[in-house]
Amino acid sequence: MNEEQTQVSDTIDIENSQLYICDIERLVSSRQKFKYYYEIYNDELYSLILLTLTHKSFNKKEAKQLCKEILRHKSFLQKRLKRDSGVCLATLDYLSNIKNIIYKPTIMEEKKSDFLTDSSTKDGLTNLYLRDIFDVFLKKEIDLAKRKNTIITLALIDIDDFKKINDNFGHQKGDEVLSKIGEILNDSIRQMDFAARYGGEELSIVMPNTKLEQGYKIANRVRKKIENLKFDDFSITVSIGLSQTSDKILDSEKIISCADKALYLAKEKGKNQVVKFKS
């Protein structure tokens, strides 16, 4: 699997290579190396490290505090055991026995941990990645795109008149709609892309190394497939807003804001369409 195809798994990309659990040991033991990668990822690095070690997602503030506590616990264990306990053992012991964050931990080989990672970072209804994982992935890909001088396109997708579906046919039918759309997104995107449940009835696709026109074709293909979905008493459509990184759009907040403006315009223009953000 090449770098463009890698999504959130039990590794994270660090300067064109992948950070495995064994590499975290070296990262936390080298102040110089940690400082170097902290300058790239800032506090997001703590979230990425904990995601790799625990397969659980933590926000940046919580992850930073936990990492500091784990390192202190690692030093404590080293004094008691009179040997280096390692960051994995320190993390497991601290989060399961002291913080009670991890319950019934299971030891497994890294190469067999993909299922656990997916199940703990994906939305159970749509089988799309969760919002906080989306935030981590988008920021990481934008940082990578800056270094490689490539372009990322973001699609924000909103189900048209979703409230009417819940009101008229019940929330169970609304859940069915979300589940079906999740299937379409997972079946329609390329391996290098990343689909997430952004919030409520709003979904998203991050398309690395993809210009706006190519992203438009992918998004419009998704829109048409959703339009062709058949339910017993109704049909559904979606509106999609697109934006891409540029000299003026350099961070995750800005690209999300621009895609949201394009999505709003798609709604204003009559829904069931894809609109590209124009700066």
Q: Which active-site residues does the annotation give?
A: 201
Cβ neighbours of residue 48 closer than 8 Å, sequence gap 6 or more: 12, 19, 41, 136, 140
Across the strands, what pairs with 243?
154
Q: How far is it between the farthest Cα atoms of the chain?
A: 69
- The Cα–Cα gap between 265 and 25 comes to 48
Closest by Cα among 201, 9, 256 to 121: 9
Residue pair 241/263 in contact (Cβ under 8 Å)? The answer is: yes
